[in-house]
Chains A and B, each alone.
Chain A
Amino acid sequence: MSFWRSIRVGIISIAYLLIQSGPILALDTKPKRFISINLCTDQLLLDLASKEQILALSHMIGDSNSSPYSERVKGIPLIQGTVEEILTLDPDLVFASNHSNPITINLLRRLGIKVQTIPSVKDLSQIETNIDTVANAIGQTTRANQVKAAIRTLLKKYKRKEKLYRPVAATIWANNISAGKGTLQHSIIAFLGFKNLSEKLNVTGLYSLPLEVLIEKKPNLLLVSHYKNAPSLSNAIFSHPALKKAFGSETILKIPDKIWLCGTPASYKALELIGEGWRERQR
């Protein structure tokens, strides 16, 4: 083979190799794009990802009644969460909750789309675990550490020192639902040093709390979570005369439902609200 011929082969080979490896190099530098189809994972993504990483979020995050982030979603497409919408957008990874529709998740996986399910939070400590899971998947560990640091400062501020006297707190939602042991809300009030009314009643999880029992047990603090002011029989308890007469304004603390619906960094706001509210009432 002549010298010039070898050079030509060499140049063509190198060029060929470069072209073949081009896409691989491109993959390395192109930013990954993510979709979330659950209100709670929406919030995690908003807190941890950068704007270009978010391809779409679920429509619930735009509803100011369910979401504390509704103002931050300007410019982000909001979807219903159907397989069709997701296919069209072609994400690299979809975040869902372990309670999201299993049919949707199965179909997405069969079509080759990666889905990461994040467990719903039953305890404060699980929030940090979830933050780590999401942060690792999207490659934002630095930001995650910042968020976790802020959380820890807040926790230090509100952790109650005396464990002897534990005032009784009760939570109440529409339809007389209350939160017992094994729920996020319970772990928040337990952290703040309260005894949950549900412990007196020996119930766990979300349970139905009759108005009579609530009045009879007279908790020191009643946390009222109003979903929405639109009329519904579920809200009847909030305007029942017996409730108003039994608990004065110093006993009732209103918590917007959207704050602690999900286990996300925003939930710590609830902790703050309750902590501050209780301190004020002690003065």
Chain B
Amino acid sequence: MKKNSYHFRKTLSVLSGLVFLFFLLSLSLGPSDLTIFDFWSLGETKKNDTTWLIFFEIRLPRAILGLAVGMSLGLAGAALQGYLRNPLAEPGIIGVSTSASLFTVIIFYSGLSAGFALLMPFAGILGATSAVLILQSLAGRNASALTVVLAGVAISSFSGALISLALNFSANPFATYEIVFWLLGSVADRGLDQVAIALPFMAVGWALLLWSGNPLDALTLGEEEAASLGYKLSRVRAQLVFGTAVAVGSATSIAGTIGFVGLVVPHLLRPFVGNRPKLLLSASALGGAALVLAADIAVRLLPFKQELKLGVITALIGAPFFLLLIIKHRRSVL
């Protein structure tokens, strides 16, 4: 562990390279016969040309969404783990994603968002915020890791059940089956218009979370010494809560619940950044983007008639990882 800063820069470059590679791969994959080379040779073609349409209106939004959602989830996971000092924290496990889905479902299926598309990310953010606030009141200020996870499980299960209920109330009979989307997530088949609405919110969330890097580093020393270094704890908490809610809430409102990204990525990258919370933020953002893009590529390469939902892949990777973590930290955490 000689030169930590050197490690960090190398890590960031590798991650950026991966993200770029996966982004390009994502643009090249699709059920039609077009590849990225067709795209390069577009040149002076009209905006309504088939190739143009497929790349810009179908594949590009998908790739951008995968990248943005991955960034939001990775960043939020690193921030939550840094703030709660809990290696098991992540937006899915603590119920933030599911609550965001719940509020979005209510707004969407009731038809309220038909006129105002902005209502969707707002609903997601509101749902995410409620979950974090409820979590804080359930788990208390100095709760153990176990308590936080348990409270999160409660919130998650409850929201999930309410989603099913809300879908059943819907006037459209297809709605009941759409719970699969809301609980397992997908970035497919979204138009640029929808992505353009959610993206600014996610960006605000990223800014808030990245900006909390120094306070998170200070919190390594515990709350008292962190305060003595000039950080107002209530402000830091508000920034982290709001940042997580905005980033994850808006991401979930458009892509559904995608779990485990915020758990796996910070854990894998922590050794590469010398365990420093601030550096872990930017590394996890890139790592999350890479992971979600990779999962979205895997989903398209699998030979299923109906495309698998993203959350299945992340759960297949993340759930065993979660179990391993519990076993490893059994004594110290639980």
- A residues lining the B interface (CB < 8 Å): 174-176, 207-208, 210-213, 215-216, 218, 227-228, 230-237, 239-242, 245-246
Contacts and interface: CB of A to CB of B under 8 A. Distances in A.
Given A236-B189, A240-B189, A246 B31 contact: no
B58 interface: yes
A212 B192 CA distance: 15
B191 interface: yes
Q: Which of A174, A212, A216, A230 has the most CB of B within 10 A?
A: A212
B50 interface: yes
B306 A245 contact: no
Interface string B175-215: 10010010000000101110000000000000000000000
B191 A216 contact: no
Given A240-B191, A241-B193, A212 B171 contact: no
Interface string B1-44: 00000000000000000000000000000111110000000000
Contact of A215 (B50, B111, B173, B178): B50
A233 B180 CA distance: 11
6 contacts: A218-B50, A231-B109, A234-B178, A242-B53, A242-B54, A242-B191
Contact of B174 (A207, A216, A227, A245): A227
B163 to A, nearest CB: 13
Contacts of A211: 58, 189
Given A227-B172, A231-B109, A235-B172, 9 more contacts: A210-B30, A216-B50, A218-B50, A231-B172, A235-B174, A236-B189, A237-B189, A240-B57, A242-B53
B186 to A, nearest CB: 9
B297 to A, nearest CB: 15
Given A211-B189, A212-B30, A234 B53 contact: no
Contact of A231 (B31, B47, B114, B193): B114
Contacts of A174: 174
A281 B220 CA distance: 71
A169 to B, nearest CB: 18
A38 to B, nearest CB: 16
Contacts of B170: 230-232
A231 B108 contact: yes
A212 B31 contact: yes
Nearest to A216: B32
A174 to B, nearest CB: 6
Per DSSP, are chain A's interface residues mostly helix, strand or loop, or mixed?
A: helix
B174 A232 contact: yes
A31 B59 CA distance: 63
Interface of B: 30-34, 47-48, 50, 53-54, 57-59, 108-111, 113-114, 170-175, 178, 181, 189, 191-193, 305-306
A13 B47 CA distance: 95
A246 B54 CA distance: 9
Contacts of A236: 189
A179 B143 CA distance: 56
Contacts of A232: 109, 170, 172, 174-175, 178
B48 to A, nearest CB: 6
A218 B49 CA distance: 11
A24 to B, nearest CB: 48
Contacts of B191: 239-242
B137 to A, nearest CB: 33
Given A232-B175, A241-B193, A212 B54 contact: yes
Nearest to A207: B305
A123 to B, nearest CB: 24
Contacts of A240: 57, 189, 191
Contacts of B193: 241
A242 B171 contact: no
Contacts of B113: 231
Contacts of A212: 30-32, 34, 54, 58-59
Contacts of B305: 207-208
A245 B48 contact: yes
B31 A213 contact: yes
Given A215-B54, A218-B50, A241-B193, A210 B31 contact: yes
A240 B53 CA distance: 11
Contacts of B30: 210, 212
A218 B249 CA distance: 37
B108 A242 contact: no
Contacts of A245: 47-48, 53, 57
A196 to B, nearest CB: 18
A230 B111 contact: yes
Contact of B50 (A227, A233, A237, A246): A246
Contacts of A227: 172-174
